[in-house]
Homo-oligomer: A and B are copies of this chain.
Amino acid sequence: MGAVHSSSLALSTDPRFVPVTSTLPPCVSKVSKSKSNSSLFGRTRREDKILGPPVSIFTSTVAQNSIFSESLPLKCARFEMGTKNDEVAGKPTLGFVEIDQDLVDKMVYDALVWSSLHGLVVGDRNVKISGKVPGVGLVHAPFALLPISFPESHFREACELAPIFNELVDRVSLDGKFLQYSLSRTKKVDAFTSRLLDIHSKMMESNKKYEIRLGLHRSDYMLDEQTKSLLQIELNTISSSFPGLSCLVSELHRSLLNHYGETLGLDPRRIPANAAVSRYAEALAKAWIEFNNPKAAVLVVVQMEERNMYDQHWLCSVLRERHNVRSIRKTLAEIDAEAKLQPDGTLLVGGVPVAVIYFRAGYTPNDYPSESEWRARLLMEESAAIKCPSISYHLAGTKKIQQELAKPNVLERFLDNKEDIAKVRKCFAGLWSLEDPDIIGKAIESPELFVMKPQREGGGNNIYDGNVRETLLRLQREGTEEDAAYILMQRIFPTISPTTLIRDGICYKDHAVSELGVYGAYLRNKENLIVNEQCGYLMRTKTSSSNEGGVAAGFAVLDSLYLT
Protein backbone atom coordinates (compact mmCIF):
# COMPACT_ATOMS: atom_id res chain seq x y z
CA MET A 1 0.00 0.00 0.00
CA GLY A 2 1.87 3.01 -1.22
CA ALA A 3 5.03 4.03 0.47
CA VAL A 4 4.78 1.31 3.05
CA HIS A 5 6.96 -1.57 2.12
CA SER A 6 6.77 -5.15 3.14
CA SER A 7 9.41 -6.94 5.05
CA SER A 8 9.03 -9.90 7.32
CA LEU A 9 10.80 -10.06 10.60
CA ALA A 10 11.24 -13.32 12.43
CA LEU A 11 11.45 -12.67 16.13
CA SER A 12 10.98 -16.00 17.72
CA THR A 13 10.78 -19.64 16.92
CA ASP A 14 7.96 -19.96 19.38
CA PRO A 15 5.00 -20.82 17.15
CA ARG A 16 2.61 -18.99 19.39
CA PHE A 17 4.20 -15.70 18.66
CA VAL A 18 3.93 -14.43 15.15
CA PRO A 19 4.96 -10.80 14.97
CA VAL A 20 3.84 -9.06 11.85
CA THR A 21 5.86 -6.00 11.05
CA SER A 22 5.24 -6.05 7.38
CA THR A 23 3.22 -2.87 7.19
CA LEU A 24 5.50 -0.91 9.40
CA PRO A 25 9.12 -1.17 8.61
CA PRO A 26 11.04 0.99 11.01
CA CYS A 27 9.05 0.93 14.21
CA VAL A 28 9.87 -1.79 16.66
CA SER A 29 12.29 -4.57 16.14
CA LYS A 30 11.59 -6.72 19.15
CA VAL A 31 8.46 -7.24 21.09
CA SER A 32 10.53 -7.66 24.21
CA LYS A 33 11.68 -4.10 23.84
CA SER A 34 8.41 -2.66 22.68
CA LYS A 35 7.49 -0.85 25.86
CA SER A 36 6.91 -4.13 27.57
CA ASN A 37 6.33 -2.43 30.87
CA SER A 38 3.58 -0.21 29.68
CA SER A 39 -0.03 -0.68 28.87
CA LEU A 40 -2.64 0.95 26.74
CA PHE A 41 -2.86 3.94 28.97
CA GLY A 42 0.03 3.45 31.33
CA ARG A 43 -2.10 4.25 34.35
CA THR A 44 -3.93 2.16 36.80
CA ARG A 45 -7.53 2.74 35.89
CA ARG A 46 -10.69 0.94 36.65
CA GLU A 47 -10.97 0.00 33.03
CA ASP A 48 -7.30 -0.78 32.90
CA LYS A 49 -7.27 -3.17 35.70
CA ILE A 50 -4.78 -5.79 36.45
CA LEU A 51 -3.79 -8.97 34.96
CA GLY A 52 -2.47 -11.66 37.18
CA PRO A 53 1.13 -11.73 38.26
CA PRO A 54 3.71 -13.64 36.24
CA VAL A 55 2.76 -17.18 37.03
CA SER A 56 1.77 -18.66 33.70
CA ILE A 57 3.84 -20.17 30.98
CA PHE A 58 3.59 -16.70 29.48
CA THR A 59 5.59 -15.43 32.40
CA SER A 60 4.73 -11.79 32.60
CA THR A 61 6.44 -8.73 33.93
CA VAL A 62 3.77 -6.57 32.48
CA ALA A 63 0.63 -7.67 34.12
CA GLN A 64 0.19 -4.41 36.03
CA ASN A 65 -1.52 -2.15 33.57
CA SER A 66 -3.91 -3.19 30.93
CA ILE A 67 -7.25 -2.14 29.61
CA PHE A 68 -8.58 -5.43 30.91
CA SER A 69 -10.81 -5.10 33.90
CA GLU A 70 -9.91 -8.63 34.72
CA SER A 71 -8.25 -11.58 33.32
CA LEU A 72 -6.28 -14.59 33.93
CA PRO A 73 -2.80 -15.44 32.93
CA LEU A 74 -3.22 -17.17 29.63
CA LYS A 75 -2.28 -20.45 31.19
CA CYS A 76 -5.70 -20.61 32.70
CA ALA A 77 -7.19 -21.36 29.38
CA ARG A 78 -5.43 -24.65 29.35
CA PHE A 79 -3.40 -23.68 26.39
CA GLU A 80 -0.61 -26.17 26.33
CA MET A 81 2.87 -25.52 25.05
CA GLY A 82 2.69 -28.38 22.62
CA THR A 83 -0.77 -27.70 21.28
CA LYS A 84 -1.00 -26.66 17.71
CA ASN A 85 -2.26 -23.10 18.03
CA ASP A 86 -4.53 -22.98 15.12
CA GLU A 87 -6.71 -25.68 16.48
CA VAL A 88 -7.09 -24.10 19.88
CA ALA A 89 -10.28 -22.21 19.48
CA GLY A 90 -12.25 -19.58 17.71
CA LYS A 91 -13.87 -19.24 14.34
CA PRO A 92 -11.12 -19.76 11.81
CA THR A 93 -12.29 -16.91 9.59
CA LEU A 94 -11.64 -14.42 12.33
CA GLY A 95 -8.27 -15.84 13.23
CA PHE A 96 -5.07 -15.01 11.48
CA VAL A 97 -4.05 -18.34 10.16
CA GLU A 98 -5.68 -18.53 6.79
CA ILE A 99 -5.85 -14.88 5.83
CA ASP A 100 -3.45 -13.94 3.08
CA GLN A 101 -0.71 -11.65 4.36
CA ASP A 102 -1.23 -9.09 1.60
CA LEU A 103 -4.84 -8.84 2.59
CA VAL A 104 -3.91 -8.43 6.26
CA ASP A 105 -1.50 -5.64 5.30
CA LYS A 106 -4.16 -3.84 3.33
CA MET A 107 -6.71 -4.17 6.10
CA VAL A 108 -4.24 -2.96 8.72
CA TYR A 109 -3.38 0.07 6.59
CA ASP A 110 -7.03 0.87 6.00
CA ALA A 111 -7.83 0.39 9.67
CA LEU A 112 -5.06 2.76 10.74
CA VAL A 113 -6.27 5.38 8.30
CA TRP A 114 -9.87 4.91 9.42
CA SER A 115 -8.89 5.34 13.06
CA SER A 116 -7.02 8.57 12.32
CA LEU A 117 -9.87 10.09 10.33
CA HIS A 118 -12.63 9.05 12.72
CA GLY A 119 -11.17 9.94 16.09
CA LEU A 120 -10.39 6.42 17.30
CA VAL A 121 -7.40 7.86 19.09
CA VAL A 122 -5.70 8.09 22.46
CA GLY A 123 -2.78 10.07 23.79
CA ASP A 124 0.53 8.47 22.93
CA ARG A 125 2.16 7.15 26.09
CA ASN A 126 5.53 8.15 24.63
CA VAL A 127 4.49 11.80 24.49
CA LYS A 128 4.38 13.27 27.95
CA ILE A 129 1.98 16.09 27.22
CA SER A 130 -0.50 13.85 25.42
CA GLY A 131 -2.53 13.28 28.58
CA LYS A 132 -2.92 16.97 29.23
CA VAL A 133 -3.22 18.93 26.00
CA PRO A 134 -5.68 17.70 23.38
CA GLY A 135 -4.66 17.56 19.75
CA VAL A 136 -1.02 16.65 20.30
CA GLY A 137 0.73 13.32 20.68
CA LEU A 138 -2.16 11.40 19.18
CA VAL A 139 -1.98 7.76 18.22
CA HIS A 140 -4.67 5.32 17.11
CA ALA A 141 -6.25 3.39 19.97
CA PRO A 142 -5.03 -0.21 20.03
CA PHE A 143 -7.55 -2.45 18.32
CA ALA A 144 -8.10 -5.96 17.08
CA LEU A 145 -8.15 -6.18 13.31
CA LEU A 146 -11.35 -8.22 13.25
CA PRO A 147 -14.24 -8.66 15.65
CA ILE A 148 -14.11 -11.63 17.95
CA SER A 149 -16.69 -14.30 17.36
CA PHE A 150 -19.20 -14.53 20.15
CA PRO A 151 -22.37 -16.61 20.53
CA GLU A 152 -25.45 -14.52 19.88
CA SER A 153 -27.33 -16.21 22.73
CA HIS A 154 -24.71 -15.18 25.26
CA PHE A 155 -24.60 -11.66 23.90
CA ARG A 156 -28.38 -11.41 24.32
CA GLU A 157 -28.09 -12.81 27.80
CA ALA A 158 -25.58 -10.10 28.71
CA CYS A 159 -27.76 -7.40 27.17
CA GLU A 160 -30.84 -8.60 29.02
CA LEU A 161 -28.91 -8.46 32.28
CA ALA A 162 -28.13 -4.76 31.90
CA PRO A 163 -31.48 -3.31 33.02
CA ILE A 164 -31.68 -5.87 35.81
CA PHE A 165 -28.29 -4.87 37.16
CA ASN A 166 -29.28 -1.21 36.78
CA GLU A 167 -32.31 -1.87 38.97
CA LEU A 168 -30.30 -3.97 41.40
CA VAL A 169 -27.71 -1.24 41.93
CA ASP A 170 -30.47 1.27 42.55
CA ARG A 171 -32.20 -0.95 45.11
CA VAL A 172 -28.96 -1.80 46.88
CA SER A 173 -28.00 1.87 46.98
CA LEU A 174 -31.19 2.63 48.90
CA ASP A 175 -30.28 0.18 51.64
CA GLY A 176 -27.59 2.17 53.42
CA LYS A 177 -27.49 -0.22 56.32
CA PHE A 178 -26.80 -3.16 54.05
CA LEU A 179 -23.90 -1.29 52.46
CA GLN A 180 -22.45 -0.22 55.79
CA TYR A 181 -22.88 -3.63 57.36
CA SER A 182 -21.53 -5.60 54.39
CA LEU A 183 -18.46 -3.41 54.17
CA SER A 184 -17.86 -3.08 57.91
CA ARG A 185 -15.02 -5.62 58.04
CA THR A 186 -13.51 -4.29 54.80
CA LYS A 187 -13.60 -0.81 56.32
CA LYS A 188 -11.15 -1.87 59.00
CA VAL A 189 -8.47 -3.02 56.59
CA ASP A 190 -9.04 -0.89 53.51
CA ALA A 191 -8.49 2.82 54.02
CA PHE A 192 -10.01 3.81 50.69
CA THR A 193 -13.29 1.99 51.21
CA SER A 194 -13.27 3.38 54.72
CA ARG A 195 -13.20 6.98 53.46
CA LEU A 196 -16.01 6.26 51.03
CA LEU A 197 -18.02 4.73 53.85
CA ASP A 198 -17.41 7.82 55.99
CA ILE A 199 -18.95 10.01 53.31
CA HIS A 200 -21.79 7.54 52.97
CA SER A 201 -22.39 7.67 56.74
CA LYS A 202 -22.46 11.44 56.74
CA MET A 203 -25.04 11.41 53.99
CA MET A 204 -27.14 8.91 55.92
CA GLU A 205 -26.89 10.99 59.07
CA SER A 206 -27.88 14.18 57.28
CA ASN A 207 -30.75 12.19 55.86
CA LYS A 208 -29.83 13.34 52.38
CA LYS A 209 -32.38 12.56 49.71
CA TYR A 210 -31.26 11.34 46.31
CA GLU A 211 -34.45 11.83 44.40
CA ILE A 212 -32.95 11.94 40.95
CA ARG A 213 -30.60 9.03 40.48
CA LEU A 214 -28.43 8.44 37.45
CA GLY A 215 -26.38 5.30 36.85
CA LEU A 216 -24.05 4.71 33.91
CA HIS A 217 -22.77 1.22 34.58
CA ARG A 218 -20.86 -1.41 32.73
CA SER A 219 -21.06 -5.07 33.62
CA ASP A 220 -18.08 -7.13 32.47
CA TYR A 221 -18.24 -10.78 31.53
CA MET A 222 -16.15 -13.63 30.30
CA LEU A 223 -17.35 -16.70 28.55
CA ASP A 224 -16.20 -19.78 30.40
CA GLU A 225 -14.92 -22.21 27.81
CA GLN A 226 -15.66 -25.37 29.75
CA THR A 227 -19.15 -24.65 31.01
CA LYS A 228 -20.05 -22.43 28.02
CA SER A 229 -21.53 -19.99 30.46
CA LEU A 230 -21.39 -16.22 30.67
CA LEU A 231 -19.88 -15.25 34.00
CA GLN A 232 -19.70 -11.79 35.46
CA ILE A 233 -16.25 -10.44 36.26
CA GLU A 234 -17.35 -7.23 37.87
CA LEU A 235 -19.89 -4.47 37.76
CA ASN A 236 -18.56 -0.95 37.23
CA THR A 237 -20.78 1.68 38.76
CA ILE A 238 -18.24 4.50 38.50
CA SER A 239 -16.25 5.74 35.56
CA SER A 240 -17.29 3.06 33.08
CA SER A 241 -14.94 3.83 30.29
CA PHE A 242 -14.85 3.46 26.51
CA PRO A 243 -18.45 4.31 25.62
CA GLY A 244 -16.95 6.54 22.91
CA LEU A 245 -14.17 4.42 21.51
CA SER A 246 -16.07 1.14 21.71
CA CYS A 247 -18.66 2.46 19.25
CA LEU A 248 -15.89 3.51 16.93
CA VAL A 249 -14.27 0.08 16.96
CA SER A 250 -17.61 -1.48 16.02
CA GLU A 251 -17.83 1.00 13.15
CA LEU A 252 -14.24 0.33 12.14
CA HIS A 253 -14.91 -3.40 11.96
CA ARG A 254 -18.11 -2.85 10.04
CA SER A 255 -16.24 -0.67 7.58
CA LEU A 256 -13.54 -3.32 7.12
CA LEU A 257 -16.12 -6.05 6.58
CA ASN A 258 -17.99 -3.85 4.13
CA HIS A 259 -14.86 -3.83 2.01
CA TYR A 260 -13.25 -7.16 2.78
CA GLY A 261 -16.13 -9.21 4.18
CA GLU A 262 -16.89 -10.95 0.93
CA THR A 263 -13.30 -12.08 0.55
CA LEU A 264 -13.20 -13.19 4.17
CA GLY A 265 -16.62 -14.81 4.12
CA LEU A 266 -17.81 -12.50 6.87
CA ASP A 267 -21.04 -10.53 7.02
CA PRO A 268 -20.77 -6.99 8.44
CA ARG A 269 -24.37 -7.23 9.65
CA ARG A 270 -23.29 -9.74 12.25
CA ILE A 271 -21.50 -7.00 14.17
CA PRO A 272 -24.17 -5.74 16.54
CA ALA A 273 -25.02 -2.04 16.55
CA ASN A 274 -23.26 -0.18 19.31
CA ALA A 275 -24.84 3.04 20.48
CA ALA A 276 -23.05 3.33 23.80
CA VAL A 277 -21.93 6.91 23.34
CA SER A 278 -25.24 8.29 22.15
CA ARG A 279 -27.21 6.44 24.81
CA TYR A 280 -24.88 7.58 27.56
CA ALA A 281 -25.11 11.14 26.26
CA GLU A 282 -28.88 10.86 26.11
CA ALA A 283 -29.06 9.63 29.69
CA LEU A 284 -26.82 12.49 30.84
CA ALA A 285 -28.96 14.95 28.90
CA LYS A 286 -32.15 13.58 30.41
CA ALA A 287 -30.66 13.89 33.88
CA TRP A 288 -29.68 17.46 33.00
CA ILE A 289 -33.30 18.12 32.03
CA GLU A 290 -34.49 16.69 35.34
CA PHE A 291 -32.20 19.11 37.16
CA ASN A 292 -34.08 21.81 35.35
CA ASN A 293 -31.63 24.68 35.20
CA PRO A 294 -30.93 25.79 31.63
CA LYS A 295 -27.74 27.53 32.70
CA ALA A 296 -26.27 24.44 34.34
CA ALA A 297 -23.51 22.27 32.94
CA VAL A 298 -22.30 18.71 33.36
CA LEU A 299 -19.17 18.54 35.50
CA VAL A 300 -16.81 15.84 34.30
CA VAL A 301 -14.43 14.85 37.08
CA VAL A 302 -11.16 13.87 35.45
CA GLN A 303 -7.69 12.75 36.38
CA MET A 304 -4.75 15.15 36.13
CA GLU A 305 -3.48 13.28 33.12
CA GLU A 306 -5.77 11.30 30.92
CA ARG A 307 -4.54 9.70 27.74
CA ASN A 308 -7.96 8.23 27.24
CA MET A 309 -9.41 11.74 27.09
CA TYR A 310 -10.85 11.34 23.59
CA ASP A 311 -13.19 8.63 24.79
CA GLN A 312 -14.51 11.20 27.27
CA HIS A 313 -14.49 13.99 24.71
CA TRP A 314 -16.62 11.90 22.36
CA LEU A 315 -19.27 11.63 25.04
CA CYS A 316 -19.13 15.35 25.81
CA SER A 317 -19.12 16.17 22.12
CA VAL A 318 -22.34 14.21 21.51
CA LEU A 319 -23.83 15.75 24.64
CA ARG A 320 -23.13 19.20 23.31
CA GLU A 321 -23.79 18.76 19.61
CA ARG A 322 -26.91 16.66 19.95
CA HIS A 323 -28.36 17.85 23.24
CA ASN A 324 -26.86 21.30 23.57
CA VAL A 325 -25.60 20.54 27.06
CA ARG A 326 -22.16 21.80 27.82
CA SER A 327 -19.65 20.17 30.11
CA ILE A 328 -16.76 21.36 32.25
CA ARG A 329 -13.71 19.20 32.97
CA LYS A 330 -12.12 19.49 36.39
CA THR A 331 -9.84 17.43 38.58
CA LEU A 332 -10.79 16.76 42.18
CA ALA A 333 -8.11 19.23 43.31
CA GLU A 334 -9.50 21.90 41.00
CA ILE A 335 -12.98 21.28 42.30
CA ASP A 336 -11.71 21.68 45.86
CA ALA A 337 -10.13 24.99 44.85
CA GLU A 338 -12.90 26.38 42.68
CA ALA A 339 -16.22 24.91 43.62
CA LYS A 340 -18.71 26.48 45.96
CA LEU A 341 -21.98 25.37 47.42
CA GLN A 342 -24.83 27.83 47.40
CA PRO A 343 -27.28 27.90 50.29
CA ASP A 344 -29.82 25.95 48.24
CA GLY A 345 -27.25 23.23 47.59
CA THR A 346 -26.39 24.29 44.05
CA LEU A 347 -22.81 23.46 43.20
CA LEU A 348 -21.04 26.27 41.37
CA VAL A 349 -17.82 25.71 39.46
CA GLY A 350 -16.29 28.89 38.13
CA GLY A 351 -19.68 30.49 38.62
CA VAL A 352 -21.46 27.86 36.53
CA PRO A 353 -24.12 25.77 38.25
CA VAL A 354 -23.64 22.03 37.96
CA ALA A 355 -26.57 19.82 37.02
CA VAL A 356 -24.79 16.47 36.81
CA ILE A 357 -21.44 15.33 38.15
CA TYR A 358 -20.02 12.64 35.90
CA PHE A 359 -17.04 10.86 37.44
CA ARG A 360 -14.21 9.72 35.22
CA ALA A 361 -11.89 9.85 38.20
CA GLY A 362 -12.23 9.19 41.89
CA TYR A 363 -12.47 5.40 41.74
CA THR A 364 -8.95 4.68 42.93
CA PRO A 365 -7.00 5.79 46.00
CA ASN A 366 -4.44 7.29 43.59
CA ASP A 367 -7.00 9.94 42.72
CA TYR A 368 -6.97 11.18 46.32
CA PRO A 369 -3.34 12.12 47.04
CA SER A 370 -4.36 14.65 49.71
CA GLU A 371 -7.27 15.79 51.84
CA SER A 372 -8.10 18.29 49.14
CA GLU A 373 -9.54 15.60 46.88
CA TRP A 374 -11.61 14.07 49.69
CA ARG A 375 -12.98 17.51 50.51
CA ALA A 376 -14.01 17.89 46.88
CA ARG A 377 -15.69 14.49 46.87
CA LEU A 378 -17.63 15.31 50.02
CA LEU A 379 -18.63 18.73 48.75
CA MET A 380 -19.98 17.23 45.55
CA GLU A 381 -21.86 14.55 47.46
CA GLU A 382 -23.43 17.19 49.68
CA SER A 383 -24.49 19.28 46.73
CA ALA A 384 -27.81 19.18 44.97
CA ALA A 385 -26.17 18.10 41.73
CA ILE A 386 -27.04 14.67 40.36
CA LYS A 387 -24.07 12.46 41.08
CA CYS A 388 -23.10 9.83 38.54
CA PRO A 389 -22.48 7.90 40.66
CA SER A 390 -23.66 8.84 44.11
CA ILE A 391 -21.59 7.49 46.97
CA SER A 392 -24.14 4.69 47.38
CA TYR A 393 -23.97 3.69 43.73
CA HIS A 394 -20.19 3.74 44.00
CA LEU A 395 -20.22 1.42 47.04
CA ALA A 396 -22.79 -0.87 45.45
CA GLY A 397 -20.23 -1.66 42.79
CA THR A 398 -17.48 -2.84 45.12
CA LYS A 399 -16.24 -6.40 44.98
CA LYS A 400 -17.33 -7.07 48.50
CA ILE A 401 -20.91 -6.15 47.66
CA GLN A 402 -20.68 -8.30 44.53
CA GLN A 403 -19.70 -11.16 46.78
CA GLU A 404 -22.42 -10.41 49.32
CA LEU A 405 -25.05 -10.37 46.60
CA ALA A 406 -23.91 -13.81 45.53
CA LYS A 407 -24.80 -15.25 48.95
CA PRO A 408 -28.01 -17.24 49.13
CA ASN A 409 -31.20 -15.20 49.53
CA VAL A 410 -29.52 -11.81 49.24
CA LEU A 411 -30.64 -11.00 45.69
CA GLU A 412 -34.18 -11.71 46.86
CA ARG A 413 -33.98 -8.76 49.25
CA PHE A 414 -33.52 -6.39 46.33
CA LEU A 415 -35.23 -7.87 43.30
CA ASP A 416 -38.85 -8.94 43.03
CA ASN A 417 -39.00 -10.78 39.74
CA LYS A 418 -37.95 -14.40 40.07
CA GLU A 419 -36.84 -14.66 36.48
CA ASP A 420 -34.61 -11.65 36.93
CA ILE A 421 -33.11 -13.17 40.06
CA ALA A 422 -32.42 -16.40 38.22
CA LYS A 423 -30.79 -14.58 35.34
CA VAL A 424 -28.52 -12.61 37.66
CA ARG A 425 -27.63 -15.65 39.72
CA LYS A 426 -26.78 -17.60 36.58
CA CYS A 427 -24.06 -15.12 35.65
CA PHE A 428 -22.46 -15.07 39.07
CA ALA A 429 -19.22 -16.93 39.25
CA GLY A 430 -18.46 -18.57 42.59
CA LEU A 431 -17.79 -15.73 45.06
CA TRP A 432 -16.79 -16.20 48.65
CA SER A 433 -15.53 -14.21 51.59
CA LEU A 434 -12.49 -15.50 53.42
CA GLU A 435 -14.64 -16.16 56.45
CA ASP A 436 -15.72 -19.45 54.95
CA PRO A 437 -13.31 -22.21 56.17
CA ASP A 438 -14.59 -24.80 53.70
CA ILE A 439 -13.78 -22.71 50.67
CA ILE A 440 -10.42 -21.69 52.15
CA GLY A 441 -9.58 -25.37 52.42
CA LYS A 442 -10.57 -26.00 48.81
CA ALA A 443 -8.57 -23.03 47.58
CA ILE A 444 -5.46 -24.16 49.42
CA GLU A 445 -5.90 -27.60 47.92
CA SER A 446 -6.64 -26.41 44.32
CA PRO A 447 -5.46 -22.81 44.08
CA GLU A 448 -5.52 -22.91 40.28
CA LEU A 449 -9.31 -22.90 40.41
CA PHE A 450 -9.52 -19.60 42.29
CA VAL A 451 -8.57 -15.95 42.08
CA MET A 452 -8.01 -13.89 45.20
CA LYS A 453 -9.22 -10.35 44.65
CA PRO A 454 -8.37 -7.50 46.93
CA GLN A 455 -11.23 -5.14 47.68
CA ARG A 456 -8.98 -2.27 46.73
CA GLU A 457 -9.84 -0.88 43.33
CA GLY A 458 -7.62 0.09 40.48
CA GLY A 459 -5.68 -2.98 41.07
CA GLY A 460 -2.85 -5.00 39.78
CA ASN A 461 -3.22 -7.09 42.88
CA ASN A 462 -5.19 -10.14 41.90
CA ILE A 463 -3.60 -13.31 43.20
CA TYR A 464 -3.37 -16.53 41.24
CA ASP A 465 -2.15 -20.12 41.51
CA GLY A 466 0.55 -20.91 44.05
CA ASN A 467 0.30 -17.42 45.46
CA VAL A 468 -3.33 -18.05 46.40
CA ARG A 469 -2.25 -20.97 48.58
CA GLU A 470 0.66 -19.03 50.08
CA THR A 471 -1.41 -15.98 50.89
CA LEU A 472 -4.24 -18.00 52.40
CA LEU A 473 -1.81 -19.95 54.59
CA ARG A 474 -0.14 -16.75 55.71
CA LEU A 475 -3.48 -15.15 56.59
CA GLN A 476 -4.43 -18.27 58.57
CA ARG A 477 -1.12 -18.13 60.45
CA GLU A 478 -1.34 -14.46 61.23
CA GLY A 479 -5.02 -14.55 62.18
CA THR A 480 -5.46 -10.79 61.63
CA GLU A 481 -8.46 -9.20 59.98
CA GLU A 482 -6.51 -8.73 56.77
CA ASP A 483 -8.62 -11.47 55.25
CA ALA A 484 -11.44 -8.97 55.03
CA ALA A 485 -9.47 -7.15 52.37
CA TYR A 486 -10.01 -10.03 49.93
CA ILE A 487 -12.69 -12.05 48.30
CA LEU A 488 -12.23 -15.38 46.57
CA MET A 489 -13.64 -15.88 43.12
CA GLN A 490 -14.01 -18.90 40.93
CA ARG A 491 -11.43 -18.79 38.21
CA ILE A 492 -12.87 -18.42 34.73
CA PHE A 493 -11.27 -20.18 31.78
CA PRO A 494 -12.12 -18.18 28.70
CA THR A 495 -11.68 -19.28 25.12
CA ILE A 496 -8.35 -18.52 23.54
CA SER A 497 -8.47 -17.42 19.91
CA PRO A 498 -5.82 -16.54 17.36
CA THR A 499 -6.08 -12.80 16.94
CA THR A 500 -4.48 -9.97 14.99
CA LEU A 501 -3.88 -6.95 17.20
CA ILE A 502 -2.61 -3.52 16.25
CA ARG A 503 -0.85 -1.18 18.64
CA ASP A 504 1.34 1.81 17.83
CA GLY A 505 0.85 1.06 14.16
CA ILE A 506 2.36 -2.38 14.60
CA CYS A 507 0.52 -5.57 13.85
CA TYR A 508 0.87 -8.60 16.12
CA LYS A 509 -0.51 -12.04 15.65
CA ASP A 510 -1.08 -13.84 18.87
CA HIS A 511 -3.54 -15.84 20.89
CA ALA A 512 -5.83 -13.84 23.03
CA VAL A 513 -8.78 -13.89 25.41
CA SER A 514 -11.71 -11.50 25.34
CA GLU A 515 -13.94 -9.81 27.83
CA LEU A 516 -17.38 -8.39 27.08
CA GLY A 517 -18.67 -5.30 28.83
CA VAL A 518 -22.29 -4.25 28.49
CA TYR A 519 -23.22 -0.66 29.21
CA GLY A 520 -26.35 0.19 31.12
CA ALA A 521 -28.03 3.53 31.79
CA TYR A 522 -30.53 4.16 34.54
CA LEU A 523 -32.32 7.34 35.50
CA ARG A 524 -35.22 8.00 37.78
CA ASN A 525 -36.75 10.87 39.65
CA LYS A 526 -38.96 10.90 42.68
CA GLU A 527 -41.99 9.61 40.83
CA ASN A 528 -40.83 7.85 37.71
CA LEU A 529 -38.36 5.58 36.13
CA ILE A 530 -37.09 7.57 33.14
CA VAL A 531 -34.37 5.38 31.64
CA ASN A 532 -33.47 1.76 32.24
CA GLU A 533 -31.72 0.25 29.30
CA GLN A 534 -28.85 -1.59 27.80
CA CYS A 535 -26.74 0.95 25.88
CA GLY A 536 -24.13 -0.86 23.89
CA TYR A 537 -21.04 -2.90 24.48
CA LEU A 538 -17.31 -2.97 24.84
CA MET A 539 -15.17 -5.87 23.75
CA ARG A 540 -11.60 -6.03 24.93
CA THR A 541 -9.09 -8.58 23.80
CA LYS A 542 -5.87 -9.32 25.61
CA THR A 543 -2.83 -11.05 24.34
CA SER A 544 0.38 -12.19 25.87
CA SER A 545 3.50 -12.73 23.81
CA SER A 546 6.59 -14.50 24.95
CA ASN A 547 9.96 -13.69 23.53
CA GLU A 548 13.37 -15.22 23.63
CA GLY A 549 13.87 -14.30 27.24
CA GLY A 550 10.66 -16.00 28.20
CA VAL A 551 9.24 -12.73 29.43
CA ALA A 552 5.77 -11.95 28.25
CA ALA A 553 4.65 -8.61 26.88
CA GLY A 554 0.92 -8.74 27.12
CA PHE A 555 -1.37 -5.96 26.07
CA ALA A 556 -5.03 -5.37 25.56
CA VAL A 557 -6.85 -3.87 22.61
CA LEU A 558 -10.34 -2.69 21.82
CA ASP A 559 -12.45 -5.11 19.87
CA SER A 560 -16.01 -5.76 18.80
CA LEU A 561 -18.26 -8.79 18.37
CA TYR A 562 -19.09 -11.03 15.49
CA LEU A 563 -22.26 -12.89 16.41
CA THR A 564 -22.25 -16.61 15.74
Contact = CB atoms under 8 A, between A and B. Distances in A.
Interface of A: 1-4, 23-27, 109, 111-119, 121, 124, 128-129, 132-140, 255, 259, 300, 302-306, 310, 313-314, 317, 320-321, 326, 328-331, 334, 502, 504-505
Contacts of A317: 113-114, 117
B304 A133 contact: no
Residue among A23, A117, A140, A320 with max Cβ neighbours from chain B (10 Å): A117
30 contacts: A2-B328, A2-B330, A2-B334, A3-B132, A3-B302, A3-B306, A3-B331, A3-B334, A4-B132, A23-B133, A24-B133, A25-B132, A27-B129, A112-B133, A112-B134, A114-B317, A116-B121, A117-B119, A118-B119, A119-B119, A121-B138, A124-B136, A124-B137, A129-B505, A134-B505, A135-B140, A135-B505, A136-B505, A138-B138, A259-B320
A136 to B, nearest CB: 4
Given A1-B328, A2-B302, A116-B121, 13 more contacts: A2-B329, A24-B129, A111-B135, A112-B133, A112-B135, A113-B134, A115-B135, A116-B134, A129-B505, A135-B502, A135-B505, A136-B140, A137-B139
A461 B206 CA distance: 76
Nearest to A304: B3
A326 B1 CA distance: 12
A4 B133 contact: yes
Given A504-B136, A505-B135, A2 B331 contact: yes
A113 B27 CA distance: 27
A329 B133 contact: no
A328 B106 CA distance: 10
B132 A116 contact: no
Contacts of A137: 124, 139
Contacts of A334: 2-3
Nearest to A138: B138
Contacts of A330: 2
A313 B116 CA distance: 10
Nearest to A24: B133
A27 B128 CA distance: 10
Contacts of A136: 27, 112, 124, 139-140, 504-505
Given A136-B139, A139-B136, A140-B136, A129 B26 contact: yes
A297 B162 CA distance: 46
Contacts of A118: 119
Contacts of A112: 133-136
